[in-house]
Structure formats: structure tokens, C-alpha cells
Amino acid sequence: MGGIARAQHGGTRRGLVVTDRRQPRLRRTTLTLVAVASLAIGVLAPIASEVATAPPAAAQCPPGYSGGGMWIWWGQESSAGGTCDWDNTYHGWLQDSVTDGSCVYAEFVDAGYWDVQAYACTTGAWIDYWKWDYDGDYYSQTTICRDYDCYPWWVDSYGY
């Protein structure tokens, strides 16, 4: 061969090794795609796992938590400290945040029953209220409303 290596899929031309240029490009492209796919899986898999296992938004008493609440520009609701004690009694605070002639009220759905538990009609004042669990499962859904509007979600309440 005279000191010139013969390529597997090519030959020599004027002393240079001639190869099929498509193979290295194909290998580089394949390796790049594998690297990008691996990176995407490595980055997105933990995020998808967190989303899939996340508790409901603004839940009142998720395990290991002392309470939560809802806030919207016209009113807010918050669980009272100590309500996450598994005694089937929810203790909350409700506030009407704006003077617009409308009261803010806390609505609950529990064991298929809808009920309004508290009204707040004095701007800025916090109203203390209690709610007994109807069926003993420590679970209900709650939202806050005013005369012509409601908080955009029903929130899971459990562990109270």
C-alpha cells in the first residue's frame, strides 16, 4: 500500500485518504440527537414527577402543614393556627378586603352538601368561624365568594 492507509469505504487519491464523508456526519448527528434526548429526559423527568405528585393548590391542611388559605383582591380566607389537628372541625378566618357593598362568604361542599359557613361584611375586619365535617372523613372543598363573583377554584381541605 506504500504507507498510505486505505479507508474502508473509500480509496486513495494523490496520496490522500479518501473516505465516505456521510458516515462521520451521520455519526455526529446521531450522537447529537442522543445527547439532546438524554438531556431533555434528565431535565424534564424530575419536573414531570413533581407536577404529578404535587398536592392540590392552596390546600388547607396537607400532611405536615399548619394550614393555608385563599387570597383574591376583594377578600381572603385563612385557616386558623391549630386547625390541622384531625378533629373534624375546621377553624377559619374570613375577610372582606374592599368597600364595594358586597359581603364575602366562605362556601363548603362536604359529603355532597353545599353550605355557606361565614359572612364578612365589614371591610378589613377578620371574621372567626368554625365548620364541622358532616361525614367524618376530614375532607371538604371550599371557596370564597362575594355577591357577584367567586374565587376561581374550589380548594381541597383535608386533615382538619
**Per-residue pLDDT, 52:** 36
Task: Assess contact for 93 and 103: CB atoms under 8 A.
Answer: no
List pLDDT tens digits, range 39-70.
556 544 444 444 333 333 334 565 555 556 78
Element holding 74 (H helix, E strand): none
Dist. CA 97–CA 70, nearest whole Å: 12
Q: Tell whether the model's pLDDT for residue 6 goes beyond 50.
A: no
**Per-residue pLDDT, 93:** 92
List pLDDT tens digits, range 87-132.
888 889 999 999 999 999 999 999 888 989 999 999 999 999 998 8
The count of residues in the chain is 160
* CATH, range 69-158: 2.60.40
Q: Give how far Cα 102 sits from Cα of 19, 77, 122, 146, Å.
A: 81, 16, 9, 6
The model's pTM: 0.57
Neighbours of 136 (CB within 10 A): 9
Dist. CA 94–CA 88, nearest whole Å: 19
